[in-house]
């Protein structure tokens, strides 16, 4: 394994099939919902991702994700503590307010190994 410059733990929430409007969902999420996420204990960074049109010159399978949120913590222990916090309970309660319609929503925790 190459030398790791920095290791963190991230929690990803992925949305596929947002209806009626991805732009309305992003505006809603990046306001009120992010305000709740900011209160998670130990959270270091919140990054929101939205796809851009891309024509890859090589054959690839395009991911259908329409929105991805990444919350970063110092390590897996800090992430675990945040997931068991009252702030997480508030974020989960707010999910019904988000304008995503019948979207498939998945959650995943991963460690990040920064090499460059």
Residue 2 pLDDT level (bands cut at 50, 70, 90): low
pLDDT value for 54: 87
Helix (H) or strand (E) holding 81: helix 76-83
For residues 39-63, average pLDDT: 94
The per-residue pLDDT for 12 is 98
Per-residue confidence (pLDDT) for residue 93, from 0 to 100: 96
Please report, for residues 19, 42, 53, 72, the alpha-carbon distance to residue 9 in angstroms, rounded to integers and kept in the order given. 30, 11, 29, 6
- Is pLDDT larger for residue 7 or for residue 11? 11
Single out the residue of 44, 71, 41, 66 nearest to residue 53, CA to CA.
66
What's the CA angle centered on 69, arms 67 and 71, to 5 degrees?
175
Domains of the chain: 6-50+64-114 (3.30.70.100)
Tokens of 92: 């989960």
pTM here is: 0.90
What is the share, in percent, of the chain residues with pLDDT greater than 70? 96
Query: How high is the pLDDT of residue 29?
Result: 96
Which pLDDT score, from 0 to 100, does residue 13 have? 98
* Cβ-based neighbour number of residue 33 at 10 Å: 20
Mean pLDDT of the chain: 93
């Amino acid at each position: 394994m190459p030398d790791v410059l920095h290791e963190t733990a991230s929690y990803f929430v992925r949305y596929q099939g947002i209806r009626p409007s991805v732009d309305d969902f992003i505006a809603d999420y990046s306001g009120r919902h992010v305000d709740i996420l900011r209160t998670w204990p130990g959270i270091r960074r919140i990054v929101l991702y939205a796809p851009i049109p891309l024509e890859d010159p090589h054959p690839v399978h395009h991911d259908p994700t329409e929105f991805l949120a990444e919350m970063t913590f110092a390590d897996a222990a800090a992430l675990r503590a945040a997931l068991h916090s009252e702030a997480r309970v508030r974020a989960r309660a707010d999910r019904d307010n988000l304008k995503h319609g019948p979207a498939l929503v998945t959650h995943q925790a991963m460690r990040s190994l920064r090499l460059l």
